[in-house]
Amino acid sequence: MPGPEREDDYAALLKAVRSGDAEQEHIVEELVNMISEHDLAMLNEGGTALHWTTISGNRRMAECLIRKNKNVLSIRNCRNELPVSLALGFGHTELARYLYSQTPIHDLEEDQGCHGASLLNRCFYNGDLDMALDLMKRCPSLAFALDHQSPHVYPLETAIDHIRGAALQMQREVQWFKVVESICPPSFKETLNKDGLTPGQLFTKDHQKMRKEGERWMKDTATSCTVVGALIITIMFAAAFTIPGGNNQDTGMPILVHDKLFTLFIVADSLSLFSSTTSVLMFLGILTSRYAEEDFHKSLPRKMIIGLFALFFSIATMMIAFSTALLLMLCGKYQIVVPIIGLAGIPVILFVVMQSRLLVEMFNSTYRIGIFDRKMKRSF
């Protein structure tokens, strides 16, 4: 058993590595030199000092610990996890790659438990396909090994459920299906399982509930936005014929036709009318869709993106038309006009705050780089 002084040194080491602060790196190096290899491998409630380092994600601290005692790479924590798997579980990809390069391959083989299978799954979850490929080449049997640790999710991981809405969840499932379909032999598309179903038929069967939830979510969103768009169409159409300043009784031309603000009013009113009409048409297209699995891939999200963007643009131009109309009617009354124009920006800001996240996530999910098409830096 280590003496009191060594216990104090080890406690100080744990405190330093838990912080992961770069300013603590030199302290860790000094403490490691004062602690024996045996003491460095001591387990506490969270594992060894290396386990705590993988949680904080400091590679320099990890290198220092491994130089002192490389055996710490093979020690499991209280959850029966190796440091390399733990680092990847917390999203520290670069640290995990370093630990993988140092971890004895024997510790990841199937006969040593589910450590290799757990690491392989986390490679897939984090998109680190080069590490996964290297691990598969070195331990081919892991392709059939069970991972009993995969249900556990760490506080810093994101289910690596951030996709907002059942429709986008359905879209992600279709994307995965198409990616897998593209890398499989063509004959597999018509291969029947034990229940006599092709892969496409099985996908349809297993995703019926999600498809219905996605359909309901999409329809509810489209219906709400259609009401807003239709209201804007009505207002802007009426405003085009009830122009500020009125018309000349002799010619019928607007009295303020030569005013630059009047031109801005007409342009803003027209843009608002056209964009709101576009948004309503897009949302009507969503409401009348057949809602097949294929529609969730690109068709429905594309219509929702166009509809939301057009609706945002129509609200913004409507507020511009309203502000210019006030300036035309209350020329010189800036003490009244300026505060009202400031208040006119509130609806635009509220719409951005409420809908921008949905719009961005839907755009990224639809048009970002494909699931397996990302350029990855190979390390092995």
- Write out the two tokens for 313: 């643009």
Q: Considering the domain boundaries, does residue 44 fall inside one?
A: yes
**Better-predicted residue by pLDDT, 329 or 220:** 220
pLDDT band at 288 (very low <50, low <70, confident <90, very high): very high
Residues 184 and 68 in one domain: no
What is the 3-state composition of the chain as percent helix, strand, coil, each rounded to the nearest 5? 70, 0, 30
> What torsion do the CA atoms of 154, 159, 165, 171 make, to the nearest 10 degrees?
180
Q: How far apart are CA 37 and CA 27, in angstroms?
A: 17
Residue 20, Ramachandran bin (φ over 0: left; ψ between -120 and 50: alpha; else beta): left
**How many domains does the chain fold into?**
3
Q: Which of 37, 29, 34, 33 is nearest to 5 (CA)?
A: 34
pLDDT at 283 over 70: yes
pLDDT at 177 over 60: yes
pLDDT band at 1 (very low <50, low <70, confident <90, very high): very low
Instruction: Give the pLDDT confidence score for residue 294 in this predicted structure.
Output: 87
Chain-centroid distance of CA 169 in Å reads: 11
Contacts of 306 (CB under 8 A, 6+ apart): 278, 279, 282
Q: Considering the domain boundaries, does residue 378 fall inside one?
A: no
Last residue of a domain, one of 158, 181, 206: 206
Model pTM score: 0.57
Helices 129-138 and 93-102: crossing angle, nearest 10°? Answer: 20
Instruction: Give the pLDDT confidence score for residue 195 in this predicted structure.
Output: 86
Q: Considering the domain boundaries, does residue 375 fall inside one?
A: no
N residues, the chain: 380
% of the chain residues with pLDDT over 90: 15
Instruction: Give the pLDDT confidence score for residue 23 in this predicted structure.
Output: 77
The arithmetic mean of pLDDT across residues 159-176, rounded, is 71
Q: How far is CA 333 from CA 242, 264, 268, 339, in A?
A: 21, 19, 22, 11
Q: Considering the domain boundaries, does residue 319 fall inside one?
A: yes
Residues 256 and 359 in one domain: yes
The arithmetic mean of pLDDT across residues 161-182, rounded, is 76
Q: Which of 122, 62, 117 is nearest to 91 (CA)?
A: 122
Residues 82 and 15 in one domain: yes
Q: Considering the domain boundaries, does residue 60 fall inside one?
A: yes
Say how many C-beta atoms besides its own lie within 10 A of residue 147's C-beta: 17
The arithmetic mean of pLDDT across residues 56-83, rounded, is 87
Residues 228 and 191 in one domain: no
Instruction: Give the pLDDT confidence score for residue 372 in this predicted structure.
Output: 53
Residues 230 and 199 in one domain: no
Domain containing 36: what range? 4-144
Residues 221 and 357 in one domain: yes
